[in-house]
Every structure is written in C-alpha cells, then in structure tokens.
A and B are shown apart, each in its own frame.
Chain A
Amino acid sequence: MQLTLEFGGGLELLCDSVKIHKVNVDLPDESHILTMKDLLKWVRTNLIKERPEMFIKGDTVRPGVLVLVNDCDWELSGQLETTLEEKDVVVFISTLHGG
C-alpha cells in the first residue's frame, strides 16, 4: 500500500532528518486491511533509526505526539484501529519540544 508519511516537530530527527517519506507498506499476512497499529509497527521497524522511545510508548505513539490521517486527528478515526487506504497521508508531529 502506497502511503505518504510525514514527521515533524523534531520527530524527523529519528528518521535521518527526512520529513516526508513516500513508502510502500505490505499488508499484514492474514488480513486485507492495514490499520494504524500495523503502520506504527512498520514505522518502528523500517523508518525509526534512533531513540524509538521518543516516538513509541507501549503499543502506541508517545503521549504528546499528534497523529493526523489525511489532515484529521486520528482520535476521530479510531486511533490505532484507524484503517488506512491507498495514498493516505499520515502525519506525526511531536508537540513536546519548542514553543
């Protein structure tokens, strides 16, 4: 599945200082849908190069990391259960640093 992932507010520093990643994520074997939960695992494995604890806490993002799916706060789409579709844009912004 083709997705655009954007990292901001300092999170880009965890993935080689690249803010925008056009990625191709394989669907998990058993299902035909990709959820945010799957995507976070994928990002953790494939994009985060250092200090993963700045991004992930437990099985979700660290508190203070804003997640937008197609410009909409993921709280409105079901957070980890949000299902992704082809060409979706997912943005992660850390609000923890820099006023």
Chain B
Amino acid sequence: MEAGEAKSKKAGGPRLCCICNLRRPVLKRPKTLQQICRECFYEVFEEEIHQVIVKNHLFKSGERVAIGASGGKDSTVLAYVLSELNKRHSYGLDLFLLSIDEGITGYRDDSLETVKRNEVQYGLPLQIVSYKDLYGWTMDDIVKMIGLKNNCTFCGVFRRQALDRGAALLKVDKIVTGHNADDIAETVLLNILRGDIARLSRCTSITTGEDGPIPRYYFSTECIYSPNAYRGFAREFIKDLERLRPKAILDIIKSGEDFRIATTTKMPEQGTCERCGYISSQKWCKACVLLEGLNRGLPKMGIGRSRAGDVNGDLHNKNESKSGPTVKSIESRKQCGSLDF
C-alpha cells in the first residue's frame, strides 16, 4: 500500500475516494462509476445487501440457513457477508456452510480446502454432502460404469438437485446461494438466445421455491471434460459490452427483471416426481430416471433422444442466478432437475 501514494500521481494528480474523501480510491464501481476506496466499497456493498435482505423479507429470526459453498469467489463472499450481517444486525439466523462433493478424484480438493478455510475464518459449521450420500454413487463410480461419454448428463442432473437434497438431509429452512452480476447477465442473455422467456423470468428473481428449478451456485464452474462454448461466447460478449459501457451488465439484469412482470401468467405446468417429490414435468424426475438406470445396470437409460435437457442446452454449466444472495425456501421445496434452465 505504501507504493500507492506515489502511484496515484500517475492517474493525473492524487484523487481521493468519492465517498469518504480521505483515502486513495482503488476501484471504479461499474454501477455508479464512482472511484472509491477499499473501506468504502465494503461499507456500501454490505449495506446494499442488508437493504435487499430487509426489503425482500428474506429471513425470519431463528431460521436454519444453509449457505451453498463451492469454495469459489461468489460463495466465499456470500459466507463472509452473511455471517457479518447476521452478527451486525442480529438477524438471529443459524447459519452453516453446505458443500457438495461430487466424488471426482482431485476435482474438488482445492475448493473443499477453501470451504474448510471459510469454516474457520467465519466460524460457520461446515457440512459436506457427497453424491455418495445423496445418490449412492460418486461421479468416479459413474464414470467407471458409463465411460466419459455421457457423464456430463449425470453430473449436471445430479448437481442441480444436490443442494436441495443436501439441505433436506440437514433439515434447513432456507438455502442461500451467491452469484455475481456477470453470471446473472450471462444467464439472462442465454435465456433470450434460447427463446426461453419462462426461464428468463425466473433467473432474476431473488427467491425461488414457489416456481421453477433452483439456481445453483457452482454452475459457473466449467465442467473439466467439456467446456460450454456457447456460454463462453455469451460471457465474452457481455464483458466486451461492459468495456464500452460499465453499466451494461446491470442493465441486462434489469431487462431480465422487467421481463418477469410480463410473463408471470404463463409459467409451464409442473408436477412432482413420484419417486422423490421434486418438481418434475415427467412422472419421474431426471435424476431418478438416471439413478434407476445406474442401479439396474442400464446406464444408458434416460440418456439420448428423450432427454429434456438437450432442448434447452447443455446439462452442465447451468447458472440461473440472482442479484446478490439468492434465498431458497425449503417449505415449498419441490424442485426437480428435469426441467432445466
């Protein structure tokens, strides 16, 4: 930081933070174009999130809330902010970190290390739920059985339900997941490109539970086997737009939010899976179909022409997201991965 004083001269004279007028600014907020210092950024960022929580009545005192923790930056920020606000404003929440381990050797090692660090740093108990716990199969087991060809289908379908199932296992009232504006804007754009207005309307809503599948916190983690090129282009496109106009990303999200109003009456019909009770447009949800195939030694079952996921894009890499924290209510938790987004 010492070097900073000299450095600020480069910007054409020492400028100070627009908010406190005391410290050297370190970033320009895309939202306001204000040049602000580190301390003021934390302050406005945390206060905005608090306001969103209060305004949307996201929590009630005494609730058990799981923070979907992937070890990535978004969930790490969420864990920090929520534990901080819970103390600062006495929300009275019983918070803990919920992590999913797919059981891919080596794949989650780093991120689980980060989550364990978060546990210590923020004093939040950590619960790791594995695919083995949830489905009876690790991804490595699945790959052994079916090979590398279709494993993304399994990983994507199972991943989409894992948080819900994990949360049910742990008897929590709500799940919160962290998303950044880039991911949300990207998802809005992808839903427009796919002509999926129903999904578009869901993807910017702050709470889910009464309709539609649930946003997933780590869907932006690229599958190690098959990166999603289409999504990659969308991401690059919005980052290019942002370069021309920093507010572009927030404006895309705003568009997604405004679309919602116009489409609330036309939601697709959703039933529930006869097997596990998650929302499904079919008799059995996709995860249950795939599991049945695995357990009966017919792993091709549920893969192929009839898969719902294909119509709407790849099964992995989904990232339906919200601004700031997303809260998922468990009471009405009846989601299923077979309707993907």
Contacts and interface: CB of A to CB of B under 8 A. Distances in A.
Interface string B164-203: 0000000000000011101100000000000000000000
Contacts of A9: 73
Contacts of A95: 73, 180, 182
A83 B6 CA distance: 11
Contact of B10 (A64, A77, A89, A99): A77
Q: What is the interface of chain A mostly: helix, strand, loop, or mixed?
A: loop
13 contacts: A69-B7, A70-B3, A71-B26, A72-B8, A75-B27, A75-B28, A77-B7, A95-B180, A98-B72, A99-B75, A99-B180, A99-B217, A99-B220
A80 B10 CA distance: 12
Given A63-B240, A98-B221, A70 B74 contact: no
Interface in B208-222: 217-222
A72 B235 contact: no
Interface in B245-296: none
Contacts of A87: 3
Interface of A: 9, 62-64, 68-73, 75-78, 82-83, 85, 87-89, 95-99
Contacts of A96: 235, 239
Given A64-B239, A99-B180, A99-B218, 12 more contacts: A63-B242, A64-B182, A69-B7, A71-B26, A72-B8, A73-B26, A76-B35, A85-B6, A87-B3, A96-B235, A98-B72, A99-B75
Give the interface centre of B10, B72, B178, B220 by most chain A CB atoms within 10 Å. Answer: B10
Given A69-B7, A77-B10, A99 B26 contact: no
Interface of B: 1, 3-4, 6-8, 10-12, 15, 24-28, 35, 70, 72-75, 178-180, 182-183, 217-222, 235-236, 239-240, 242-243, 319
Contacts of A70: 1, 3-4, 7
B321 to A, nearest CB: 8
6 closest cross-chain pairs (CB), A and B? A63-B239, A99-B74, A99-B220, A73-B27, A64-B239, A98-B72
Contacts of B242: 63
Give the interface centre of A71, A82, A88, A89 by most chain B CB atoms within 10 Å. Answer: A71
Nearest to A65: B239
A64 B221 CA distance: 15
A85 B9 CA distance: 12
A80 to B, nearest CB: 12
Contact of A97 (B8, B11, B75, B221): B221
Contacts of B15: 76
A11 to B, nearest CB: 14
A99 B235 contact: no
Nearest to B111: A98
A83 B12 CA distance: 11
A88 B221 CA distance: 32
Contacts of B12: 78
Contacts of A68: 26
B220 A98 contact: yes
A97 B26 contact: no
Contacts of A71: 1, 4, 26
A17 B235 CA distance: 24
A73 B34 CA distance: 13
A99 B73 contact: yes
Given A75-B28, A76-B26, A63 B11 contact: no
A72 B26 CA distance: 4
B72 A99 contact: yes
B151 to A, nearest CB: 20
Contact of A64 (B8, B74, B218, B235): B235
Contacts of B221: 97-99
Nearest to B11: A77
A71 B218 CA distance: 27
A99 to B, nearest CB: 4
Contacts of B218: 98-99
Nearest to A97: B222
A97 B7 CA distance: 30
